[in-house]
């Protein structure tokens, strides 16, 4: 299936149903798009809080560095301060890892709910529940491999979607703000939050892999080999039909019915092989998506650097702005003091002042 969650920026993801090898129906259980919609709202709020904590922590070093301008300090810049507090880097790392873990947990929850909804809403659930022993273990192995791949995909999707959500939200807020100071604050927040979340997204993209792909390939190859052997045995058995008819062991009518049954069995086995091929073909789309992650990571890194340069620029804006505000007040005060009378500083006054400073000889 193809998931497209509508936002200002959308992202297409191919997911494979993690249920036994049965045709998937869009109406079965709860679809991924619905689950993603609900989880993204919750995750966005939680992630925004975590990014806010990272941002606030980065401002709290108390460093004497000239780059320590409140609001413009990134976590990476704060780490570079030689006078940062002890344990500061560990605190940052803990929050970043917690945020990354929440992405994985959300992806796992979505996959688990989808799978549970699928099994509850289709006949596949009854079939799955009836399996025992090795058959159940094999079905679980297949489902786990597919689910692992889907979780990998969802994990990446959530990371990319969240950073786009943050960016869109903060841009909308900045464009709608009227107060210049609030606009400046929102520009700074947008750059800072995009920068900080980029660190998490880049880590997700660098570490991402299709966890269940190799297991699926091995399972598919094992299944296809077993079915190929079975088909060879069936075709060999079909050839004995003619011998049994010749020997009088079977009538032509019985042999014909058995041939029809054998053909049906062959087609059923071929269908199973086709489903397995479809399952692996679906993972090809997943592979193509993962192959694009290096390009996506490069885009995120470029976006992060843009955010950094924007914060560097805003740092200078804040510094010059902070120094221009008092000048405006001084200018206002000078207009008022211009109305006050001043002592005249004529030549006699100067001579008196100099003489009073020990300049009598000059007067003579």
**Tens digits of per-residue pLDDT, 295-354?**
888 888 988 888 888 888 877 777 665 555 444 444 444 444 444 454 554 566 555 555
Indicate if 138 and 186 belong to the same structural domain. yes
Same-domain pairing of 236 and 182: no
Q: pLDDT tens digits for 120-160? A: 766 666 776 777 787 777 777 777 888 888 888 888 888 88
Query: Mean pLDDT throughout 93-112?
Result: 90
Secondary structure letter of residue 59 according to DSSP: H
- Alpha carbons within 13 angstroms on the beta-carbon side of residue 69 total 17
State the pLDDT confidence band at 355, using cuts at 50, 70 and 90.
low
- One domain for residues 281 and 224: yes
Q: Write down the residue that tokens 């109305």 correspond to.
A: 339
- Roughly how many angstroms between the first and final C-alpha of the chain, as a whole number? 106
H-assigned helices in 60-179:
75-80, 88-121, 123-130, 133-176
246 with 182, same domain? no
Per-residue model confidence as pLDDT tens digits over 201-240: 888 888 877 767 777 788 888 888 888 999 999 888 888 8
Q: Is residue 341 part of a domain?
A: no
What is the pLDDT, as a whole number, of residue 350?
Answer: 53
* Beta partners for residue 14, in sequence order: 2
Residue % of the chain over a pLDDT of 90? 13
Same domain, 193 and 281: no
E strands within 304-358?
A: none
| Structural contact between residues 158 and 106, judged by C-beta atoms closer than 8 angstroms | yes
Alpha-carbon torsion (94, 95, 98, 104), positive or negative: negative
Among 299, 57, 19, 319, residue whose Cα is nearest residue 140? 19
Q: Do residues 122 and 232 share a domain?
A: no
Checking 293-298 for CB contacts under 8 A at 24+ apart, the result is 293/156, 293/205, 293/208, 294/205, 296/160, 296/205, 297/201, 297/202, 297/205, 297/206
Total tally of structural domains belonging to the chain: 2
In a domain, 343, yes or no: no
Name the token pair of 278. Answer: 């479809």
Domain that holds residue 278: 212-291
110 and 235 inside one domain:
no
Separation CA 51–CA 149 (nearest Å) = 27
Looking at residue 12, its pLDDT comes to: 38
Q: Is 2 helix (H, G, I), strand (E, B) or coil?
A: strand
């Amino acid at each position: 299936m193809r998931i497209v969650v509508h936002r200002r920026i959308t992202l297409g993801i191919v997911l494979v149903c993690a249920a036994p090898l049965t045709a998937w129906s869009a109406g079965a259980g709860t679809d991924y798009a619905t689950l993603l919609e609900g989880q993204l709202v919750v995750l966005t709020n939680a992630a925004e809080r975590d990014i806010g904590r990272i941002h606030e922590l980065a401002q709290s070093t108390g460093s004497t560095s000239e780059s320590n301008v409140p609001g413009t300090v990134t976590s990476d810049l704060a780490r570079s301060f030689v006078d940062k507090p002890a344990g500061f880097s560990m605190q940052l790392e803990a929050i970043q890892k917690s945020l990354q873990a929440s992405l994985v947990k959300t992806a796992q929850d979505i996959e688990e709910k989808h799978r549970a909804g699928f099994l509850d809403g289709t006949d596949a659930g009854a079939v799955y529940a009836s399996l025992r022993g090795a058959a159940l273990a094999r079905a679980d192995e297949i489902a786990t491999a597919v689910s692992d791949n889907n979780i990998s995909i969802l994990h990446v999707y959530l990371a990319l979607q969240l950073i786009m959500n943050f960016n869109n939200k903060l841009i909308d807020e900045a464009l709608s703000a009227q107060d210049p100071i609030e606009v400046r604050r929102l520009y700074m927040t947008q750059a800072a939050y995009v920068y900080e979340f980029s660190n998490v997204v880049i880590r997700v993209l660098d570490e991402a892999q299709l966890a269940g792909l190799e297991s699926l390939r091995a399972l598919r190859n094992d299944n296809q080999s077993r079915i190929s052997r079975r088909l060879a045995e069936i075709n060999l058995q079909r050839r004995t039909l003619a011998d049994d008819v010749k020997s009088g062991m079977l009538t032509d009518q019985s042999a014909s019915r058995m041939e029809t049954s054998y053909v049906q069995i062959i087609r059923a086995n071929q269908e199973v092989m086709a489903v397995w091929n479809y399952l692996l073909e679906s993972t090809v789309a997943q592979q193509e998506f993962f192959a694009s992650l290096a390009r996506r990571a490069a885009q995120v890194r470029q976006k992060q650097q843009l955010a950094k340069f924007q914060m560097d620029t805003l740092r200078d804006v804040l510094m010059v702005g902070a120094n221009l505000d008092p000048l405006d007040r001084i200018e206002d005060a000078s207009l008022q003091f211009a109305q006050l009378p001043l002592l005249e500083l004529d030549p006699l006054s100067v001579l008196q002042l100099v003489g009073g400073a020990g300049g009598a000889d000059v007067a003579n």
